């Protein structure tokens, strides 16, 4: 999920409710809980055009759930993005929002620490070594209780609560203990590791117990759901039958049945299709090609600058293709968009230096006066510019070392309305389960990655259309609305208890 950088403002600068906004209700029948609210602050000087100081955040989760929130008696619980600031519940564009207040210390320990320096690397197969600090864990527990308390205060009797992602894994159990009347769902947007890796976490039992407070646990891939169930059996001694755990209370009696299933997330298909057919964006795509000197082939990588994305592996393969003479700088250019990410964390600063050093080496070796091998862009771009890049690119490179889903791959395929282009996709990204007509690769196998890139570059138009058409159909039939509807329908299903 996208986590926009926050601005620290004084309490006096907090947006005031405008007279036109309806007052926020006290209780709600449907609640979404995530680390961040689905809004960003427009500006810090009060001169924004939004009227109430907020704008809706981009991203698939907001797109999927915002219409549901506006139509139903629902509310969204999350941090509003500024530490050490109190913001009262408010309404924005028909959504009721319940802010959770976090201190700078909590943001540092709970979010930057435990969430992103312990859980993130651990759940991504320890590509980078996770850090285990008891002070981080203590803050994680404290903040999870803050989120749970906000739900408990505002949830109506029998309400449905949908908790999102790895920052809030203790919330389901806290809700179950205080409000057994609630219907509780949880969705994990990142991978869930196998027990052999999860075992490293000193607080593994507490995390599993926290998650088992939910009635339904959603994961991106069946293997993630399987990993969770294996960990529940191994570390809690849970009785697992057919993706179900009979969860017992302190008295040994079964309190509820927790289910774990795969619900692969998707994208806002209509938005991407509309943008891809916009004449201005189509012209922008042509302009991008002209600005690059109209190369025969444009290759594209779009990633958050993160060690899980395999950017270095991609650059190594591309450099070797140039060195081998199998790709010539006069014919091909790689555009690498690397959005800034967690720049206060040392590992990410070092990664940026490494990637930028590699790009400089490649360009210094292979550039000509007229041609650039790699166009490296360390920026975040609006979705309109991203779609223009998708239209301009002949080959999309997604070489993640580990990824829950990777929605960029789905956006690229959706944008290719004329069914041309090619996708090189890591088998370690969740999208590989749905986009089987991509050139699936192991990013650690540099020779295999090089071979796949060459096949994609030289793909016959007829074969390209066949592959792209099948991938587009899969995504058009399973968009983000389908994902949310499928999860919530499963959450409402009556579970037959089998004690045999």
Q: Model confidence over 93-135: pLDDT tens digits?
A: 888 999 999 999 999 999 999 999 999 999 999 999 999 999 9
What tokens were used for 17? 């409710």
Tell me the per-residue pLDDT of 290-310, one tens digit each, with 9 for 90 and over.
999 999 999 999 999 999 999
Nearest to 459 by CA among 426, 432, 423: 423
pLDDT score of 10: 31
Which residues are within 8 A (CB) of 156 and not within 5 positions of it... i.e. 6 or more apart?
Answer: 27, 28, 29, 73
Residue 432 DSSP symbol: G
Separation between Cα atoms, residue 270 and residue 282, nearest integer Å = 16
Query: Which tokens sit at 476?
Result: 């058009």
Residues 6+ apart with CB under 8 A from 485: none
Sequence-separated (6 or more) residues with CB below 8 Å from residue 13: 44, 46
Around Cβ 493, how many Cβ atoms within 10 Å? 10
User: How many other CB atoms are found less than 10 A from the CB of residue 58?
Assistant: 16
Decide: pTM greater than 0.75. yes
How far apart CA 18 and CA 397 sit, in angstroms, is 46
Backbone CA torsion sign across 168, 170, 174, 176 = positive
Structure confidence by residue, pLDDT tens digits, 184-234: 999 999 999 999 999 999 999 999 999 999 999 999 999 999 999 999 999
Q: φ, ψ for residue 406 (rounded to 5)?
A: 80, 90
Structural domains in the chain? 21-262 (3.40.50.2000), 269-477 (3.40.50.2000)
The percent of residues above 70 in pLDDT, for the chain, comes to 92
Secondary element (H or E) of residue 196: helix 195-198
- DSSP calls for 254-306: EEEEEEEEE------HHHHHHHHT-HHHHHHHHHHHHHTT--SEEEEEEEES-
Average pLDDT, the chain: 90
Which conformational region is residue 216 in: left (phi greater than 0), alpha (psi within -120 to 50 degrees), or beta? beta
Beta strands in 107-182 (DSSP E): 155-164
Question: pLDDT tens-digit profile of 143-200?
Answer: 999 999 999 999 999 999 999 999 999 999 999 999 999 999 999 999 999 999 999 9
Q: What is the pLDDT of residue 58?
A: 73
Residue 490 burial by Cβ neighbours in a 10 Å radius (0-12, 13-18, 19+): middle
DSSP secondary structure, 5-40, as one string: PP----GGGSPPPPTTSPPPPS-EEEEEEEEE-SEE
Residue 433's Cβ-count burial label (10 Å; 0-12, 13-18, 19+) is middle
For residues 349-358, give the mean pLDDT: 94
CA–CA gap between residue 95 and residue 172 (Å, rounded): 23
Which 3 state secondary structure label does DSSP give 216? Answer: strand
Q: Are 156 and 25 in contact (CB under 8 A)?
A: no
Q: Nearest-CA neighbor of 415 among 280, 274, 264?
A: 274
Q: What are phi and psi of 156, to 5 degrees?
A: -70, 165
Burial tier of 291 (Cβ tally within 10 Å: 0-12, 13-18, 19+): exposed
Give residue 454's pLDDT.
98
216 backbone dihedrals φ, ψ, rounded to 5°: -140, 125
Residue 6: pLDDT over 60: no
**pLDDT above 80 (res 379):** yes
Provide CB contacts within 8 A for 262, sequence distance 6+: 218, 219, 220, 221, 222, 224, 225
Residue 409, number of CB atoms within 10 A of its CB: 29
C-alpha–C-alpha distance, residues 164 and 144, integer Å: 12
Q: What is the pLDDT of residue 53?
A: 86
**Biggest distance spanned by C-alpha atoms of the chain:** 76
234-244 burial, b for 16+ CB within 10 Å, e for fewer?
A: ebbebebeebb
Contact 230, 208 (CB under 8 A): no
| CB contact at 8 A, 265 and 60 | yes
Taking alpha carbons only, the member of 309, 4, 1, 8 closest to residue 168 is 1
- Residue 25: which pLDDT band, with cuts at 50, 70 and 90? low
- Provide mean pLDDT across the span 405-411: 96
By C-alpha distance, which of 433, 434, 409, 421 is closest to 465?
A: 421
């Amino acid at each position: 999920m996208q986590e926009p950088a926050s601005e620290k403002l004084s309490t006096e600068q907090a947006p005031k409710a405008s007279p036109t906004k309806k007052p926020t209700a006290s209780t709600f029948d449907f609640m979404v809980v995530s680390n961040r609210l689905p809004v960003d602050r427009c500006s810090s000087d009060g001169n924004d055009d939004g009227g109430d100081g907020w704008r809706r955040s981009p991203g698939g989760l907001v797109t999927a759930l915002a219409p549901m929130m506006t139509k139903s008696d629902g509310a969204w619980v999350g941090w509003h993005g500024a530490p050490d600031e109190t913001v009262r519940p408010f309404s924005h564009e028909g959504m009721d929002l319940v802010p959770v207040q976090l201190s700078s210390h909590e943001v540092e320990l709970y979010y930057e620490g435990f969430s992103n320096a312990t859980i993130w690397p651990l759940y991504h197969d320890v590509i980078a070594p996770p850090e285990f600090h008891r002070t981080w864990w203590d803050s994680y527990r404290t903040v999870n209780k803050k989120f749970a308390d906000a739900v408990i205060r505002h949830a109506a009797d029998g309400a449905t609560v949908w908790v999102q992602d790895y920052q809030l894994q203790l919330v389901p159990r806290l809700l179950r203990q205080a409000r057994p009347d609630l219907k509780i769902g949880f969705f994990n947007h990142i991978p869930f590791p196998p027990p052999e890796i999860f075992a490293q976490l000193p607080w593994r039992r507490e995390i599993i117990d926290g998650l088992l407070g939910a009635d339904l646990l959603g994961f991106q891939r069946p293997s993630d759901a399987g990993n969770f169930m294996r960990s529940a059996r191994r570390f809690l001694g849970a009785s697992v039958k057919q993706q179900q755990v009979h969860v017992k209370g302190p008295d040994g009696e079964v309190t509820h049945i927790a289910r774990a299933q795969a619900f692969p997330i998707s994208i806002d298909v209509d938005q991407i299709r509309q943008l891809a057919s916009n004449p201005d964006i189509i012209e922008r795509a042509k302009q991008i090609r002209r600005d690059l000197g109209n190369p025969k082939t444009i290759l594209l990588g779009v990633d958050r600058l993160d060690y899980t994305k395999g950017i270095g592996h991609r650059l190594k393969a591309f450099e070797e293709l140039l060195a081998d003479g199998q790709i010539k700088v006069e014919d091909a250019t790689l555009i690498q968009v690397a959005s800034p990410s967690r720049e206060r964390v040392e590992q990410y600063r070092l990664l940026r230096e490494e990637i930028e050093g590699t790009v400089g080496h490649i360009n210094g070796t292979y550039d000509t006066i007229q041609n650039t091998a790699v166009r490296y862009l360390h920026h975040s771009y609006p979705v309109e510019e991203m779609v223009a890049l998708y239209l301009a690119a002949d080959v999309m490179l997604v070489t993640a070392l580990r990824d829950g889903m990777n929605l960029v791959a789905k956006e690229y395929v959706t944008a290719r309305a004329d069914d041309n282009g090619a996708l090189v996709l890591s088998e370690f990204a969740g999208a590989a389960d749905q986009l089987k007509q991509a050139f699936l690769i192991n990013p650690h196998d540099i020779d295999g990655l090089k071979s796949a890139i060459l096949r994609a570059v030289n793909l016959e138009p007829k074969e390209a259309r066949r592959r792209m058409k099948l991938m587009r159909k899969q995504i058009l039939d399973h968009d983000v609305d389908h994902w949310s509807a499928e999860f919530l329908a499963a959450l409402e299903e009556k579970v037959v208890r089998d004690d045999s």
